[in-house]
Structure 1
Amino acid sequence: MYKKYIFFLIILCLSAMPFTNIASANFENDGEIDGNLRSTIVQELPAADVSMVIRNLEGQIIFNYNGDRSQKPASNLKLFTAAAALSELGENYRFKTNVFMDGIVKKGVLQGDLYLQGKGDPTLSMNDLKELAAFLHSQGLKKINGRIVADDFYFDQKLLTPHIEKEDQSYYYAAPVTALMISPNKDYDAASVLIEAKGNKEGKKPTLHIEPAKGELIIRNEAKTVAYGQPNTLKIERAFGTRKVYITGNLPREQTVREWIAVPQPTKQTMTLFKEALKSQQVDYTDTTFYRAVPPKNAHLIAQKQSVPLKEIMIPYMKLSNNSISNVLVKTLGKEVKKRGSTPAGLKTIKKYAVSTHISIKNTVLDDGAGLSQENRLTAEDLTELLYKIYKDEKWFNTYFNSLPIAGKNDRLIGGSLQNRLTSPLTNGRVFAKTGSIERVNTLSGYFIGQSGKMYIFSLLVENQEDTVEEIDHIITEAARVL
């Protein structure tokens, strides 16, 4: 439903402007306008390192402020990852999760092993596991007299992307990645659980609700419900390097706190929940040990779950800036193109895509595909060139464009990370861009409609200053005003 609405919205915004053969307006080279934008940047961000480029839809650079300087892109790096994924995998690519049997079923009992094989599906849910278990039961399976085995060898076993800070590793945005993970909901933050604490009776522990389930996690609820109006000091944290989650502090009555916690061993978590799903569907088993192995060649494929197509996954990926999906895409690109399901192989594929579109990457450093690492480097010139060439050449441009957050749109699957930003009449519903934020870095790159009614391509990278979102929005608003 929301996909149709997004497409309608984009057509509505752009119906009044020609989308091809656009002549450059005379004022695009006006020195006064160039000066206005430069003055705005200096006034808003005097102490920061700023790089900004604006192009018209013919690809011509009409404003350049340190555009060739390599800076930290934060999640603007996802613009490259998404483009490479759509190009190399295709809009209709689907992730697959398979169930294999190695053995014979006699009178409802499998004399042999059952394998759950993951291929990186970031959308795999507890409901999917229950459906697979229900299918097995419907085929007459009542008991497994053998092992239940995980196959997550589609990806390598380096679970974290490079240079993840210790303090980030307990949270969903830095969750580890395997080929066999569960997402708590349709945001698809794979390898995490959503823990909700609600203030109950005063003096009692808050009530906890966990999605999809605690699985391998050990929950220590040491918090206390306090009177309404008292300070909320509740914290939900996983102890570093462990599976212990501590809920501490005070939570006022009738208040709720939610936190997404990363699971340290995603494959083991998935297998624990798969076994729970089997039990819930009256499929019994005796061996509870965790096993990892590849199915033998003579094993039989008996069930398969396919994800929604990549073009649908792009919505939560880009709108919500989902790092987990990004890391999955990188490893999938590596596996599908380079035959190695690793981050380095995937990053080589992204660079290969950039070269194939004649984008200079001499000043580019890719450390991950999500932009979380402080080691990543891109230029505003390269980002705007990418956005121009996607607009000009790629048949999947509409899918890509529709996945970008839209300024001021309250629906989180439309406005995304821009839903509460750029809400002035000059920019509301007229900026379509990817946000980015890491420590002392804020970025924004995409497309905007100027006051003239023409569309422009832009990238604005800011680093070495905290919390520059407001300043960035002022600069983009000024650009929309003068153009």
Structure 2
Amino acid sequence: MRRISYLICLLFILPAFSHADEALTAFSKLNNAGLIVLDSNGRTIRADHADRPLIPASTTKLATAWLALMHWGEEHRFRTRFYWDEPSRVLWVKGSGDPYLVSEELARIARSLKQKGLRQVKAIGLDNSLFQAGLVLPGTGTTNNPYDAVPTATAANFNTIAIKKINGKVVSAEPQTPLTPYAKSLGRSINSGELRVNTGRNPSNAENYFAELMAAFLRVQGIEVDPRIVFGKVPNQPVFYTHTNSKTLGEIVRTMLKYSTNFVANQLILMLSSETYQRPANTADVQRYMEESLSRQFAWENFTFEDGAGLSRNNRLSPQQLTELLQAFRPWKHLLPEIEPGVYAKTGTLTGVSSLAGYLVKRGEWQPFAIVMNENVPYQLRNRIARELSLR
């Protein structure tokens, strides 16, 4: 009887074992991929073409997050300064690149400006000199999808707009966000339903939208605001109001890593490069800043970064370099999302690119790993590989 029970158990168990490594077997047949797993002490457990430079896609955001956290610290809060030109009655905004000026923050700003005594504004002035004029980073602005939003020194709602059309009327799709003239013009292109789009490839669209939205929130507070928008340098006078974002950098990075927000990643890297080189942020400085900083820290060679989000198909990083980065990222590992039980990681997806890098948590130990596949593979293959590795 015992023997029969044993055989029955084998019938159920053997199929499970026969399929246990199917994802890793599929990986072994790829021609342009790499994988590595370290133990909690940094020793290599498994490596397959781990030193091969590959397109990392959005795992690039791990580098951007690490650079930002190292530079500013997890508790840092971004600030935006406002200046009041009394003679011309122009409210100037000095663009700081804050990536998280969402509607709720703009509403707080408007309330604070009213408390400061603001009553009538003849124009909204924008100083966007922190970023190079007309700046478009590689991979951005090619579609109207939210993930494609271009970066700007003054930006509202990640340079995206949510609109919907009801019975032929365009309205805001967010109760917290007023409808502006630019948003309304975008809504005319949809027949019905709800849509979220970016503000377009031209950065001036996003800048104008920011000014329109700022004016709308000021009007909600009873402040009279003319529709005029001016561009230039802030006047040489004291700061009228400084807004401190309610989100810490750690909170911003956590959301960026969870939702893979390209806009936030690119804002951060542009701000870092501008602060480092003390000039308007530009594409050349972004590449120089990332490559010099990472080479200095890790002594890396044979890698390339053109943007902070991972949209550029010219970016190159090996799985081994990703795990070296993850070793340094340990103080902030809690900012990564749990994508599978015991797997905390950042995904990366482009056409023909699938990547995953983070930590396998086993018995309380966090083991860095990286999987990068530069081939067309099933969408969930990277997760299945991670699950199989976590069971080993």
- Specify the alignment match of 2:379 in structure 1: 469
Q: Among 74, 82, 99, which residue is 2:82 paired with? A: 99
Match of 1:478 in 2: 388
User: How many residue pairs are counted as aligned between the two chains?
Assistant: 366
Separation in 2 of the partners of 1:37 and 1:389?
A: 32
**Which amino acid counterpart does residue 388 of structure 2 have in structure 1?**
E
Question: In structure 2, do the counterparts of structure 1 residues 282 and 474 end up closer, same or farther at CA, with 3 Å as the change threshold?
Answer: closer
Q: CA deviation at 1:368?
A: 0.9
Aligned to 2:370: 459
Aligned counterpart, 1:262: 198
Q: For 2:108 and 2:276, how far apart are their aligned partners in 1?
A: 31
The TM-score normalised by the length of structure 1 is: 0.70
Paired residue for 1:82, among 28, 49, 65? 65
Q: What is the rounded CA distance, in whole Å, between the counterparts of 2:325 and 2:71 in structure 1? A: 15
Q: Which runs of 5+ in 1 are unaligned?
A: 1-35, 105-110, 184-189, 199-203, 221-242, 250-256, 392-396, 407-417, 423-427
Partner of 2:254: 315
CA–CA separation in structure 2 for the residues paired with 1:74 and 1:248: 34
Q: Does 1:296 align with 2:235?
A: yes
Question: Within 1, Cα distance between the matches of 2:20 and 2:68?
Answer: 34
Give 1:311 deviation, angstroms.
1.4
**In proportion to residue count, which structure has more helix?**
2
Preserved contact between residue 441 and residue 463 of structure 1 (Cα < 8 Å): yes
Alignment check: 8 A CA contact 1:116 1:150 kept: yes
Deviation for aligned residue 1:205: 4.9
Q: CA deviation at 1:470?
A: 2.1
Q: Which residue of 1 aligns with 2:287?
A: 347
Q: Which residue of 1 aligns with 2:106?
A: 129
Measured in 2, the distance between the counterparts of 1:281 and 1:87 equals: 39
Q: Could you tell me whether the CA contact under 8 Å between 1:359 and 1:385 is conserved in 2?
A: no
1:326 counterpart (265, 279, 283):
265
* 2:13 aligned residue: none
In structure 2, do the counterparts of structure 1 residues 215 and 174 end up closer, same or farther at CA, with 3 Å as the change threshold? same
Go from structure 1 to structure 2 and tell me whether the alpha carbon gap of 1:324 and 1:245 turns closer, same or farther (over 3 Å shift).
farther
Cα distance, 1:139–1:332 mapped onto 2, change above 3 Å: closer
1:350 alignment partner, SS class: helix
2:11 alignment partner in structure 1: none
CA shift for structure 1 position 70: 0.9
Query: Which one of the candidate residues 133, 136, 153 is aligned to 2:129?
Result: 153
Residues 84 and 349, structure 1, Cα contact 8 Å, conserved in 2: no
* 8 Å contact kept, 2:141–2:150: no
Aligned equivalents of 2:126, 2:189: Cα separation in 1: 28
For 1:444, which of 356, 373, 378 is the aligned residue?
356
> Residue deviations 1:90-144, cap 9 Å, x none?
223222112101235xxxxxx5432122201122133433333333333443323
Number of the residue aligned with 1:58? 41
Deviations 1:277-330 (Å, cap 9, x if unpaired)? Answer: 2222222244x3321111122x23111111122112111111111111101101
Which 4+ stretches in 1 moved above 4 angstroms?
36-40, 204-208
Aligned residue among 223, 246, 254 for 2:189: 246
Q: Give the aligned partner of residue 175 of structure 1.
A: 149
Q: Does 1:120 align with 2:120?
A: no
Matched, 1:401 2:341: no
Cα shift at 1:148: 2.5
Task: Summarize deviations over 1:316-353 as a string: whole Å, max 9, x none.
Answer: 11111111110110111011112132343233222233
How has the CA–CA distance of structure 1 residues 358 and 126 changed in structure 2, closer, same or farther, with 3 Å as cutoff?
Answer: closer
Q: Does 1:373 align with 2:349?
A: no
Match for residue 180 of structure 2? 215
Question: Equivalent residue for 1:240?
Answer: none
Name the CA shift for 1:259/1:285 in 2 (closer, same or farther; >3 Å).
closer
For 2:45, the aligned partner's letter is I
- Partner letter of residue 117 of structure 1? K
Q: Distance in 1 between matches of 2:365 and 2:80?
A: 45
* 5+ long unaligned stretches in structure 2: 1-18
Partner of 2:8: none
* TM-superposed deviation, 1:219: 4.3
Distance 1:404 1:453, change over 3 A: closer
Change (3 A) 1:218 1:209: closer
Q: Higher relative contact order at CA 8 Å, sep ≥6: structure 1 or structure 2?
A: 2
Residue 57 (structure 1) shift: 2.0
Tell me the equivalent position of 1:305.
Answer: 243
CA offsets per residue over residues 348-377 of structure 1, 9 Å max, x none? 2222332232241x2211121101121111
Q: 1:244 to 1:41 in 2, by over 3 A?
A: same
Matched with 1:236 is none
- TM-score, length basis structure 2: 0.85
The offset of 1:463, in angstroms, is 1.5
Report the CA distance between 1:462 and its aligned residue: 0.8
> Aligned equivalents of 1:133 and 1:80: distance in 2?
35
* Closer/same/farther in 2, CA of residues 458 and 385 from structure 1, 3 Å limit: same
CA contact (8 A) 1:318 1:405 kept: yes
Q: Which amino acid counterpart does residue 217 of structure 1 have in structure 2?
A: Y
Equivalent position to 1:272, from 190, 193, 212? 212
For 1:284, the equivalent position in structure 2 comes to 224
1:301 maps to amino acid: V
DSSP-derived class of the 1:385 partner? helix
The answer to whether 1:357 aligns with 2:340 is no
**Corresponding residue SS for 2:189:** strand
What SS class does the counterpart of residue 300 from structure 1 fall into?
coil
Give the Cα separation in 2 of the matches to 1:75 and 1:349.
Answer: 18
CA RMSD of aligned residues (A): 2.6
Distance 1:339 1:64, change over 3 A: same
Q: Is 1:43 matched up with 2:26?
A: yes
- The answer to which of 76-85 and 126-135 deviates more is 126-135
Q: CA deviation at 1:165?
A: 6.8
Corresponding residue for residue 15 of structure 2? none
The reply on whether 1:388 has 2:327 as its aligned counterpart is yes
Per the TM alignment, residue 164 of structure 1 is displaced from its structure 2 partner at its CA by 3.7
